[in-house]
Structure 1
Amino acid sequence: MTFCDENNIELIKSELRYLKLLANQYPNISAASTEIINLQAILNLPKSTEHFISDIHGEYESFTHMLKNASGVIKRKIDDVFGTSLRENEKTSLATLVYYPEQKLELIKHSERDLEDWYRITLYRIIELCKAVSSKYTRSKVRKALPQDFSYIIEEMLHEQGEKINKHEYYNGIIKTIIDIDRACEFIIAIANVIQKLVVDRLHIIGDIYDRGPGAEIIMEALMNHHSVDIQWGNHDILWMAAAAGCEACICNVLRISLRYANLNTIEDGYGINLLPLATFAMDIYEDDPCSNFIPKTINKELSEKELRLISKMHKAISIIQFKLEGQIIEQHAEFSMDDRLLLDKIDYPNGTIQLEEKIYELSDTCFPTIAPNDPYKLTDREEALIAKLRRSFVKSEKLQRHIRFMYTKGSMYLRCNSNLLYHGCIPLNEDGSFKELIINDKKYKGKAVLDKFDTLAREAYFFKDGTPQKKYALDMIWYLWCGSDSPEFGKLKMTTFERYFINDSDTHHEERNNYYKYRDNEDVCCNILKEFNLPPNCSHIINGHIPVKTKEGESPIKANGKLLVIDGGFCKAYQPQTGIAGYTLIYNSYGLLLTSHEPFGSIKKAIEEERDILSSTIILEHAVTRKRVADTDIGEDLRKQIRELEMLLIAYRKGLIKEA
């Protein structure tokens, strides 16, 4: 690229202020030239590997293992490197060592007869594997991934060249010394961690980290320690974000879902939320009520009958408060068009029935001691006091606030990355498949603008000052994101929570999906969505989660002739009976796209002790004829921009517009 004509000189002069700042980093022609050469070389490296996971729902053991084995990438890399030179059981042992080095080494110490020989063989193997994994990166990037204690030694070993006889004894000496000074375990752990870092360059979470499973806070800690991650908020994540911001209706939903699945680990142990006020209130108000409709859906076998009764009472108590608070929001926002969700005033309390549209249903539970029939959405004084205490617990939980801050820092409603469009739920569409227009605060939005607006509102709900009208409005809008008919996160026409608890007729439980799900298998509609987000439809994909793919019924995760990929396959154990598998993950490397389906995972304990990996099946969705390079990625575009700026700086130096330091 040259800038020798007058127009380009004028361009350089117009950018002189910026170029002078750039000159502080590259103070002379030599420095600028070296960086251009370096960046140009990086463009020719193979594209790094991206890993996509969706709908984790607190299943921390499965997630932890999936993160460590990179959905089978490490095992495939071991097969590539060692081929038939190792037996299958040796490859499996090496893979387990890479996944769980600390725990596996403890077992090896007690089972291996000739530990020194095992160390020697294993060190050579794990270094060979690390060489292969690091080969697509620059030395600089690999160096940054190395632990400080062993950085020099590992770097030396990674760049060993077997044919160079001059250093053969040198490398053997390093291995021998590592073993002799009793540092082999630490060295193996260090290299295993480097392999895990380098085998996947970027992790994409397509929403729903929270709810149902027992360890969402453990997953959040793992993500905070990950070297490169982004999150597209799911509807359950949004719920927790609003709860942490102090939205009382969302706090009730969070607690109700936790009680529904008898999963209080994250609430109490993870985030230190004090549930004693709720337990005391529930025992007093529902003392003689069996609350049989509120027995947890997933029963923890360790819970006693007494504990189950208490959880059921707490479950009912918080549900009734939720219906009241949600009714207040709906009454304040006519624009939500959710009057059909105002149900407490439709109950005939003396007769124990409810009228929905033109039909009258008998209620399966008629005990409503806190509801005043003439003002059913008003909280009692005790309910007011209870919800105030619960709100303080959520807002003051240091760990929860730290995790939610991270969710905002690394998260968004959607992401465009390397010709892929990532979002958890859907795009609101009309009956004909065109983009539906939403009115938010008296302004019209559709398509991409809807997601952009909700992204802004989600941030305002958390970061705006308490007590301001703007924060109150934003919090109400985030609640709408959780359950509103035109919400891009919810994707259904209504949430039938009340009906599922109080009406036995299953027809009333149905939650009809919105128009997006009628059209997500339509290639033209998917192409229009990609265009709306400024992505070329011929080479781009939409990657979705949210609605589990019912694989056992023959449903495919590949929609619209490959334009849309749904990677929610039942990571959450509660969904696995419906899906027939335990989740999908997606890998995007320099050779193309690979979709992997997984069988249910036993436990980390079995994975370590019995070397049981997740059984997975991989489908090659796309195979690149020409291997993709960094130049073909978003990072490549950024690097080309940097190169153009550095070339402008070179001309400025050569023309005397900027003096070399």
Structure 2
Amino acid sequence: MQHHIAEQYFDEKYLKLLSEQFPTSQAVYTEIINLQAILNLPKATEHFMSDVHGEAEAFEHILNNCSGVIRERVRAIFRHELTASEQDDLCTLVYYPREKLALLDKNEKTDKWYYDTLLQLVRIARHLSSVYTRSKVRKALPQTYAYIIDELLRASAIGEESRHDYHVHIIESIVATSSANDFIISLSELIKRLAVDHLHIVGDLFDRGAHADKILDRLMSYHSLDIQWGNHDICWMGAAAGSDACIASVVRNNIRYNSYDLLERSYGISLRELALFAQNTYCTDDAITPINKAIAVILFKLEGQLIKRSPDFAMGDRLFLDKIDLTNKTVQIGNQSFDLITADFPTIDPADPYALSPEETSIMQGLRKSFRESERLQKHINFLYENGSLYLVYNNNLLFHGCIPLHMYGSFRPVTCAGRHFAGKDYLDFCDRIARRAWHEHDQAALDWMWYLWCGKYSPLSGRVVKTFERTFIADKSCWVEPQDAYYNLTESAHVCERILAEFGLTGDHCHIINGHTPVKTIKGEKPLRAQGKLLVIDGGFCKAYHAKTGIAGYTLIASARGMRIKAHRPFQGVAYALVNNADIESDDDSFELEEKPLKIANTDIGTSIKERISSLSALLFAYRTGELAEHKA
């Protein structure tokens, strides 16, 4: 039977290649034993975040406190030894070790304080490291102090006084050599590294908040992560790839949210030519500022050109510049006429309303050059491509930012893509491919798709009719309503969610869809957990602009060996306040799908890969023992 399995699944060529890595039976069974041991370790913690929207300070704090995981561990370890205030102090030190050490008075940082603090940090790190192999922990250690910290993490056995004394002498030496600050910083970073094994960002790092660049810098140094692109991300990706419509959209968004610094200081993209043009072209005593009006008109011209050359997008109903009546100061939308808040459109030629003026053409040429040549922006966008995708299947979860277009009766909606129809998983795969093509080939068709993915009616990243023109130029809010894809209503049903999960190969009780994109209005009674637990919407409004709408300041999701928990966060009051007052982000914890027995690595995707590896190694071991392959003994 064993021989049959070996022949059926592992051909001789594959086993010979494997034998180069494991040349003897001893090498093979040693690796099998090692892998079997790994399968029985607890499942490591995953951390899910979405719709951060440039809020760098709050994002950094959530990373530092690991959505409360650090505080929970501190309470579990020291609940009978430290007061609540002392626990808070220790947590803040872990979150911001450099800043907290600098803030403490010299008289507070006695040798005893350093000694006690180092022991406490070692205990936290030891507790967190217990769910990993020693090899993985060693890889996480700061190189400078790797040997010493590795020794400190080796717990003393009961009654083994010599090893305890050994640890005490190490810590006393650290304090005596005035290297305690460095060790505190290193141990704090290790604790945060061990508390969360993998981070998922379910879209929208950019726009609204001012510091998406700082968030990306932080993510580029993170140990293990994946990113599902959001509609705001894809717009920046399209702009960096050279899409004029995406460039104009990005510039308009940054002007609208007063985030000039992100463009000009962080990415070196000057708006001076646009600002001067606006000042010299548009009137100032109007309902809309000259620079807002200037970029909006450029955007709607570029969108009109793109819609006309892309019939597959079927967005002719979004062409409005040719329907403006300057005499009556109105615009025709469908069968209805709406008053405009301004009739100051000196660059719109009624004979060719979607043509850029020479000045507008010059502005766009300059902006395109700046976006393409911004070294820091290109580095950040390349990181998004290398570590991101349109969707991800990971440990029984389907992650994507927005939606999967559905008909109103629940079937997957076909979307015309380059003359073909795609629906469901095939459509998302097409969108992922076309986004990568835009980055690598920069052809016009792919660049136009980047704009469609940003705001197209059937974009899986948007899933609604984006009414930028109406919201910019029309006061009547009745025409501002943006119809959404049927997905957003239909996925209140567990049956629909199960059908979507099955489309991506996920079946069973513990499979979930995880989305961002649509802020959960907690203040109105909405819940992030929907469809009998099949759908998790974790956009709770990180961005300050959404706090009043949602009633909270963001959701995060934690998945560990014990189950899954959604954390609802209160607004962060800033690092300075946190340091002085030991103030954490207050969070409400909503646990669900608690496991009767803690999950193990065997229950994860990594576990599946390890089992496949064990199977192939078992076939190699059988081949050695039956003589089908010769061992390469030295």
* TM-score w.r.t. length of structure 2: 0.98
Query: How far did 1:518 drift?
Result: 1.5
Residue from 352, 366, 370 that aligns with 1:389: 366
Whole-Å separation in 1 of the counterparts to 2:478 and 2:49: 33
Does 2:305 correspond to 1:328? yes
Matches of residues 496-511 of structure 1 in structure 2 within 5 Å? 496-511=467-482
In structure 2, relative to structure 1, the CA distance for the partners of 1:4 and 1:353 (3 Å cut) is: closer
Letter in 1 for 2:621: L
Provide the secondary structure at the position in 1 that maps to 2:354: coil
Whole-Å separation in 2 of the counterparts to 1:121 and 1:61: 30
Residue from 128, 133, 141 that aligns with 2:136: 141
Aligned counterpart, 2:402: 425
State the Cα deviation string for residues 430-470 of structure 1 (Å, max 9, x = none): 01011111121121211111111000000001111x4xxxx
Provide the secondary structure at the position in 1 that maps to 2:593: strand
Bigger drift between 517-526 and 276-285 goes to: 276-285
Residue from 380, 383, 386 that aligns with 1:406: 383
Is residue 126–residue 155 contact of structure 2 (8 Å, CA) maintained in 1? no
Query: How far did 1:158 drift?
Result: 0.7
Aligned counterpart, 2:594: 623
Does 2:512 correspond to 1:535? no
Whole-Å separation in 2 of the counterparts to 1:105 and 1:22: 51
Whole-Å separation in 1 of the counterparts to 2:516 and 2:594: 23
Aligned counterpart, 1:489: 461
Does 2:27 correspond to 1:31? yes
Letter in 2 for 1:601: F
Is residue 361–residue 503 contact of structure 1 (8 Å, CA) maintained in 2? yes
Whole-Å separation in 2 of the counterparts to 1:613 and 1:157: 28
Letter in 1 for 2:305: Q
Unaligned runs of 5+ in 1: 294-311
Aligned counterpart, 1:654: 625
Whole-Å separation in 1 of the counterparts to 2:108 and 2:87: 20
State the Cα deviation string for residues 359-397 of structure 1 (Å, max 9, x = none): 212211100010001110000111111101100000001
Query: How far did 1:20 drift?
Result: 2.0
Is residue 199–residue 226 contact of structure 2 (8 Å, CA) maintained in 1? yes
Letter in 2 for 1:349: L
State the Cα deviation string for residues 585-607 of structure 1 (Å, max 9, x = none): 00000000000000000111111
State the Cα deviation string for residues 190-235 of structure 1 (Å, max 9, x = none): 1111111110000000000000101000000101000001000000
Provide the secondary structure at the position in 2 that maps to 1:211: coil
Letter in 1 for 2:39: L
Letter in 1 for 2:142: P
Query: How far did 1:117 drift?
Result: 0.7
Aligned counterpart, 2:606: 635
State the Cα deviation string for residues 257-300 of structure 1 (Å, max 9, x = none): 000011112111111112222122212212x333432xxxxxxx
Residue from 16, 32, 46 that aligns with 2:42: 46
Query: How far did 1:18 drift?
Result: 2.1
Is residue 160–residue 171 contact of structure 1 (8 Å, CA) maintained in 2? no
Unaligned runs of 5+ in 2: none
Aligned counterpart, 2:112: 117
Does 2:433 correspond to 1:456? yes
Bigger drift between 43-52 and 605-614 goes to: 605-614
Does 2:163 correspond to 1:167? yes
Query: How far did 1:114 drift?
Result: 5.4
Provide the secondary structure at the position in 1 that maps to 2:227: strand
Provide the secondary structure at the position in 2 that maps to 1:84: coil
Whole-Å separation in 2 of the counterparts to 1:203 and 1:602: 24
Whole-Å separation in 1 of the counterparts to 2:227 and 2:509: 25
The total of aligned residue pairs comes to 631
Query: How far did 1:111 drift?
Result: 4.9
Whole-Å separation in 2 of the counterparts to 1:95 and 1:321: 50
Bigger drift between 328-337 and 449-458 goes to: 328-337
Provide the secondary structure at the position in 2 that maps to 1:292: coil
Is residue 209–residue 219 contact of structure 1 (8 Å, CA) maintained in 2? yes
Does 2:7 correspond to 1:10? yes
Does 2:146 correspond to 1:151? yes
Letter in 2 for 1:362: D
Aligned counterpart, 2:449: 477
Is residue 55–residue 571 contact of structure 1 (8 Å, CA) maintained in 2? yes
Residue from 306, 312, 316 that aligns with 1:339: 316
Provide the secondary structure at the position in 2 that maps to 1:482: helix
Provide the secondary structure at the position in 2 that maps to 1:427: coil
Aligned counterpart, 2:418: 441
Provide the secondary structure at the position in 1 that maps to 2:345: coil
Provide the secondary structure at the position in 2 that maps to 1:198: helix
Letter in 2 for 1:557: P
Aligned counterpart, 1:319: 296
Bigger drift between 176-185 and 22-31 goes to: 22-31
Query: How far did 1:652 drift?
Result: 2.1
Letter in 1 for 2:488: Y
Whole-Å separation in 2 of the counterparts to 1:495 and 1:10: 57
Whole-Å separation in 2 of the counterparts to 1:107 and 1:375: 63
Aligned counterpart, 1:262: 258
Residue from 91, 96, 102 that aligns with 1:100: 96
Aligned counterpart, 1:306: none
State the Cα deviation string for residues 240-271 of structure 1 (Å, max 9, x = none): 00000000000000000000011112111111
State the Cα deviation string for residues 482-502 of structure 1 (Å, max 9, x = none): 11111111111x211111121
Is residue 290–residue 313 contact of structure 1 (8 Å, CA) maintained in 2? no
Matches of residues 554-569 of structure 1 in structure 2 within 5 Å? 554-569=525-540
Whole-Å separation in 2 of the counterparts to 1:173 and 1:565: 49
Does 2:190 correspond to 1:194? yes
Whole-Å separation in 2 of the counterparts to 1:239 and 1:200: 30
Letter in 2 for 1:274: S
Is residue 56–residue 211 contact of structure 2 (8 Å, CA) maintained in 1? yes
* TM-score w.r.t. length of structure 1: 0.94
Provide the secondary structure at the position in 1 that maps to 2:79: helix
Provide the secondary structure at the position in 2 that maps to 1:476: helix
Bigger drift between 165-174 and 398-407 goes to: 165-174
Aligned counterpart, 2:542: 571
Is residue 346–residue 354 contact of structure 1 (8 Å, CA) maintained in 2? yes
Whole-Å separation in 2 of the counterparts to 1:145 and 1:79: 24
Residue from 183, 202, 205 that aligns with 1:206: 202
Aligned residues with identical type, % of pairs: 47
Is residue 313–residue 416 contact of structure 2 (8 Å, CA) maintained in 1? no
Whole-Å separation in 2 of the counterparts to 1:114 and 1:504: 61
Is residue 287–residue 341 contact of structure 2 (8 Å, CA) maintained in 1? no
Aligned counterpart, 1:584: 555
State the Cα deviation string for residues 384-422 of structure 1 (Å, max 9, x = none): 111011000000011111111110011011111100110
Whole-Å separation in 2 of the counterparts to 1:353 and 1:276: 31
Aligned counterpart, 2:615: 644
Whole-Å separation in 2 of the counterparts to 1:325 and 1:9: 61
Is residue 553–residue 570 contact of structure 2 (8 Å, CA) maintained in 1? yes
Whole-Å separation in 1 of the counterparts to 2:354 and 2:108: 71
Is residue 408–residue 459 contact of structure 1 (8 Å, CA) maintained in 2? yes
State the Cα deviation string for residues 77-114 of structure 1 (Å, max 9, x = none): 11111122210011111111111111111122x25445
In structure 2, relative to structure 1, the CA distance for the partners of 1:114 and 1:258 (3 Å cut) is: closer
Is residue 112–residue 118 contact of structure 1 (8 Å, CA) maintained in 2? no
Query: How far did 1:640 drift?
Result: 0.4
Residue from 335, 343, 346 that aligns with 1:366: 343
Does 2:523 correspond to 1:552? yes
Provide the secondary structure at the position in 1 that maps to 2:226: strand
Bigger drift between 195-204 and 495-504 goes to: 495-504
